[in-house]
C-alpha cells in the first residue's frame, strides 16, 4: 500500500505541476495578446515610420498558430496597401507628423496597382510640405516604384539598386513527364489558355508569346511612365539598356552606380540615415542611441486615427488570392467563406456593396458560388460596384459578372476568359513497374476514371465536353453582364489576358479608378455625399494572437532571410529559393485533386509568402518529389 501511495502522490504532483504550467502559459499568452495590440498612446510628435517588412497585399492571410509554433517559422510579414494609403493621407494633415519614413530594408514587393496607390499617397504627403524618406540595403523594381516618390532615397554604401523590368522564364515539364511515363491529360478551351502549356509543351506557344508580350509591354510602359514622372533625372535607359556598362562606369561599386544614375539620393548607413531623420522630425527624447529619432509606428498610428463610422454603411467584400472551394482564407478566397459573409451581410442594412478583386482565379465552382452570392445583393436592388486591384483574371473576372459597374486601373491584369483541367494518369509508369490493370466493365464508363489503367475514350470525351460546357457558361455570363454578343466575347476570350487599358477598350471594364472611386460611385447611387457614408469590410478581423505568435517564432536572422539585406549574390540566392517553391507548386497543380479551373497562370506571379523556415508547400510536397525522383531513378 505504501508503494501505491507513493505512486499516487507522484501522479498528483505531476497533475498539479501541469495545471500550474498551463495556468502560467495562459496568463503569459493573455499578457502577450493584450500587449501585442497597437497602442494609440504610443503616437507622438516626430516621424511616422512605415516598416514594409514582407509584402504589400490586398488582404492579410491568417496565421496558423499551431503550425507556426511547431515549425518555429511564420510566413513573411504582410501589410495591407489601403492601410498604408490611409496612414499617409492622415499624416499629410496631422501636425504631429513632421516627416514620413518608409523602411524598405525587408520589403519583398507587391502588385503594381498597390505600389502605384502608395506612391500617389506619398506625393500627397510631399505636397503638404512634409519630407518622405526611404532607406534600404537594396532597391529592386518594386522598391523603386515606391522610392521614386520620396523626397530622399537613402542606400547603404554596401547595398545596391537596380531595375530589371517585368518578365522572365516559365518552366515546362513535358520532357520530365515523358521520362516519368506520366500522362498529363489536358482538357481546355481557348487558343491562348497558356495555363496548361507547362504540361503539354517544352516552350511557350506563339499565341501565348504574342498575348503575354503585349501584356508585359503595357505594364512596363506604365512602370516607366510612373517612375520617370516621379523622378525625372533617373537614367532609366542607361540602367536597363546596358546594366553591365553602367556598373562598370562606377568601377564596380553598385551603390555609387545607383547614386550616379539617380536611383538614390544619399549613401549612408542606418546611423547616418537616423541622424538625418532627427534633423527634420526631432530627436528621440527617450533614447540617446546613435541613429535614434522621434517616431511613431504604423500600427499605433492606425489605431490612433481610427476608421470613419458616420453615415450609411457601404459593404466591401474582398476576393484576394486563389479562389478555392470551402472555408479557406482570408488571404485565399474560399468560396463558401465569402458566400457566407455576403449572405450574412444581407441582414446588415448595407446601402451598397463594393466587390474588391485581386485574384488570378481558381475553382470554377467556388467562383460561381461567390458570383451567385453577389447576385443575391443585386436582386435586392442594392448597387454593386466591382473594383479590380492588381489582377482580376479567369475566376477573378467570373465573380465580377454580378456587378453593376467595373472599375480597373491601367496596370490591372484582366481577362483570361477560359477554363481548363489537368489530370495526371499513371498507366505507363505503372507498366514500367510491372503493374497492369484488367477487369470486367458493363459500360464504357465502368471503373472510370482509372488512373492506373488509363481513361477510356468515352471518359476523355466526357471530360472535354464538360470543359466546353463550362466555357460556354463563362461566355454567356460575360455576354449578359457586359451587354455584348457571345461571338464578340469569344473573340476577346480564348484565355487571352489584357492590361487594364486594353480591357477598357474591349468593353471588359467600364472606367478607370481605384477602390475609392468604386466606393464613391456606390455612394452616389444611393444619394449620399462625401462624409455621409463609411466603408465596412466584411469579415475583416485580425487574430489577436497573430503579433504574439510572430514574435515568438521570429528568429534572429528573420530580417536577413525575408528581406533584401545583402549584395547581388544574396538576392540571387533568394531567387533560387523562390524557384524551388515554384516547382513545388507546379507539381501540386498537376497531382493534387482539383475541379475545373478558371485560373490565369500567365499573369504576373504574386510574391510567395515564404516563411523563415521551410516553405509549407515544400513540406507538403516532399513525399511527392521523393516519389518522382525514385521513378526517374527506377
Contacts (Cβ under 8 Å, ≥6 apart) of 259: 155, 265, 266, 267
Residue with cell string 455570363? 477
Task: Please report the pLDDT score of residue 320 as a whole number.
Answer: 94
Contact 263, 239 (CB under 8 A): yes
10-residue averages of pLDDT along the chain (634 residues): 65 75 64 52 87 93 69 77 96 95 94 96 96 95 96 94 88 88 84 75 87 91 94 91 90 92 95 95 89 92 88 94 90 94 91 95 93 95 96 94 95 90 86 86 86 87 88 92 93 90 94 95 90 89 57 49 49 58 68 68 60 37 38 38
Distance CA 307, CA 314 (A): 13
Strands in 54-57's sheet, in edge-to-edge order, are 78-80, 54-57, 107-110
Distance CA 410, CA 514 (A): 10
Residue with cell string 506625393? 123
- 479 a catalytic residue: no
- 394 a catalytic residue: yes
Task: Please report the pLDDT score of residue 353 as a whole number.
Answer: 96
Which entry of 60, 116, 130, 193 is annotated as an active-site residue?
Answer: 193
Which entry of 105, 394, 402, 416 is annotated as an active-site residue?
Answer: 394
Distance CA 102, CA 135 (A): 7
Task: Please report the pLDDT score of residue 30 as a whole number.
Answer: 52
Contact 191, 418 (CB under 8 A): no
Extract the C-alpha cell encoding 59: 488582404
Q: Give the per-residue SS3 of 329-367.
A: CCCCEEHHHHHHHHHHHCCCCCCEEEEEEEECEEEHHHH
Task: Please report the pLDDT score of residue 22 as a whole number.
Answer: 73
Residue with cell string 518529389? 625
Please state the length of the chain.
634
> Helix, strand, coil % (nearest 5) of the chain?
50, 20, 35
Q: Which helix (H) or strand (E) holds 536?
A: strand 533-537
Contact 509, 503 (CB under 8 A): yes
Terminal Cα-to-Cα distance of the chain (whole angstroms): 63
Task: Please report the pLDDT score of residue 67 as a whole number.
Answer: 64
Rounded to whole angstroms, what are the CA distances from 72 to 16, 51, 294, 553, 610?
Answer: 28, 23, 33, 5, 13
Contacts (Cβ under 8 Å, ≥6 apart) of 176: 628
- Using DSSP, state whether 322 is helix, strand or coil: coil
Task: Please report the pLDDT score of residue 480 as a whole number.
Answer: 93
Distance of CA 217 to the CA centre of its chain: 22
Contact 364, 386 (CB under 8 A): no
Task: Please report the pLDDT score of residue 558 as a whole number.
Answer: 39
Distance CA 486, CA 502 (A): 19
pTM: 0.84
Extract the C-alpha cell encoding 166: 517585368
Amino acid at each position: 500500500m505504501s508503494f501505491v501511495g507513493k505512486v499516487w502522490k507522484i501522479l498528483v504532483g505531476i497533475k498539479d505541476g501541469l495545471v500550474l504550467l498551463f495556468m502560467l502559459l495562459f496568463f503569459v499568452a493573455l499578457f502577450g495578446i493584450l500587449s501585442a495590440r497597437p497602442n494609440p498612446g504610443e503616437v507622438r510628435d516626430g516621424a511616422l515610420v512605415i516598416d514594409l517588412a514582407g509584402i504589400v497585399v490586398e488582404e492579410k492571410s491568417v496565421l496558423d498558430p499551431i503550425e507556426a509554433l511547431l515549425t518555429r517559422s511564420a510566413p513573411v510579414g504582410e501589410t495591407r496597401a489601403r492601410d498604408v494609403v490611409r496612414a499617409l493621407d492622415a499624416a499629410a494633415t496631422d501636425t504631429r507628423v513632421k516627416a514620413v519614413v518608409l523602411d524598405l530594408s525587408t520589403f519583398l514587393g507587391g502588385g503594381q496597382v498597390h505600389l502605384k496607390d502608395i506612391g500617389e499617397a506619398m506625393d500627397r504627403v510631399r505636397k503638404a510640405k512634409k519630407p518622405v524618406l526611404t532607406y534600404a540595403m537594396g532597391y529592386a523594381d518594386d522598391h523603386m516604384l515606391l522610392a521614386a516618390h520620396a523626397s530622399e532615397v537613402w542606400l547603404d554604401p554596401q547595398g545596391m539598386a537596380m531595375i530589371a523590368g517585368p518578365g522572365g522564364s516559365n518552366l515546362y515539364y513535358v520532357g520530365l513527364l515523358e521520362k516519368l511515363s506520366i500522362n498529363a491529360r489536358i482538357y481546355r478551351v481557348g487558343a491562348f489558355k497558356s495555363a496548361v502549356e507547362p504540361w503539354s509543351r517544352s516552350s511557350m506557344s506563339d499565341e501565348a508569346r504574342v498575348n503575354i508580350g503585349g501584356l508585359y509591354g503595357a505594364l512596363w510602359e506604365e512602370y516607366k511612365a510612373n517612375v520617370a514622372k516621379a523622378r525625372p533625372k533617373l537614367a532609366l535607359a542607361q540602367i536597363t539598356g546596358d546594366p553591365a556598362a553602367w556598373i562598370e562606369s562606377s568601377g564596380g561599386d553598385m551603390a555609387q552606380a545607383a547614386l550616379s544614375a539617380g536611383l538614390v539620393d544619399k549613401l549612408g548607413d542606418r546611423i547616418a540615415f537616423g541622424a538625418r531623420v532627427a534633423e527634420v522630425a526631432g530627436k528621440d527624447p527617450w533614447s540617446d542611441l546613435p541613429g535614434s529619432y522621434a517616431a511613431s509606428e504604423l500600427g499605433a498610428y492606425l489605431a490612433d486615427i481610427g476608421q470613419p463610422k458616420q453615415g450609411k454603411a457601404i459593404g466591401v467584400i474582398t476576393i484576394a488570392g486563389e479562389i478555392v472551394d470551402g472555408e479557406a482564407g482570408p488571404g485565399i478566397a474560399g468560396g463558401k467563406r465569402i458566400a457566407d459573409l455576403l449572405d450574412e451581410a444581407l441582414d446588415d442594412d448595407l446601402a451598397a456593396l463594393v466587390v474588391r478583386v485581386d485574384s488570378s482565379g481558381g475553382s470554377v465552382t467556388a467562383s460561381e458560388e461567390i458570383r451567385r452570392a453577389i447576385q443575391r445583393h443585386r436582386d435586392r436592388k442594392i448597387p454593386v460596384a466591382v473594383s479590380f486591384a492588381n489582377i482580376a483574371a479567369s475566376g477573378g473576372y467570373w465573380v465580377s459578372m454580378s456587378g453593376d459597374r467595373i472599375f480597373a486601373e491601367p496596370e490591372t491584369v484582366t481577362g483570361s476568359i477560359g477554363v481548363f483541367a489537368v489530370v495526371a494518369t499513371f498507366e505507363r509508369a505503372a507498366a514500367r513497374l510491372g503493374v497492369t490493370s484488367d477487369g470486367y466493365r458493363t459500360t464504357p464508363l465502368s471503373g472510370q476514371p482509372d488512373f492506373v489503367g488509363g481513361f477510356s475514350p468515352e471518359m476523355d470525351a466526357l471530360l472535354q465536353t464538360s470543359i466546353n460546357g463550362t466555357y460556354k457558361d463563362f461566355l454567356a455570363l460575360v455576354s449578359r453582364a457586359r451587354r455584348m454578343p457571345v461571338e464578340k466575347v469569344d473573340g476577346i476570350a480564348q484565355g487571352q489576358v489584357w492590361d487594364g487599358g486594353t480591357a477598357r477598350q474591349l468593353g471588359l471594364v467600364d472606367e478607370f479608378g481605384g477602390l475609392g472611386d468604386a466606393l464613391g460611385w456606390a455612394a452616389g447611387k444611393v444619394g449620399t455625399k462625401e462624409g455621409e457614408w463609411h466603408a465596412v469590410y466584411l469579415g475583416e478581423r485580425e487574430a489577436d494572437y497573430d503579433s504574439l505568435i510572430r514574435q515568438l517564432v521570429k528568429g534572429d536572422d528573420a530580417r536577413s532571410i525575408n528581406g533584401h539585406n545583402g549584395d547581388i549574390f544574396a538576392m540571387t540566392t533568394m531567387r533560387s529559393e523562390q524557384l524551388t517553391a515554384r516547382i513545388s507548386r507546379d507539381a501540386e497543380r498537376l497531382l493534387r485533386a482539383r475541379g475545373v479551373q478558371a485560373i490565369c497562370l500567365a499573369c504576373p506571379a504574386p510574391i510567395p509568402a515564404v516563411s523563415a523556415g521551410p516553405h509549407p508547400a515544400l513540406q507538403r510536397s516532399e513525399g511527392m518529389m521523393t516519389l518522382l525522383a525514385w521513378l526517374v531513378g527506377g
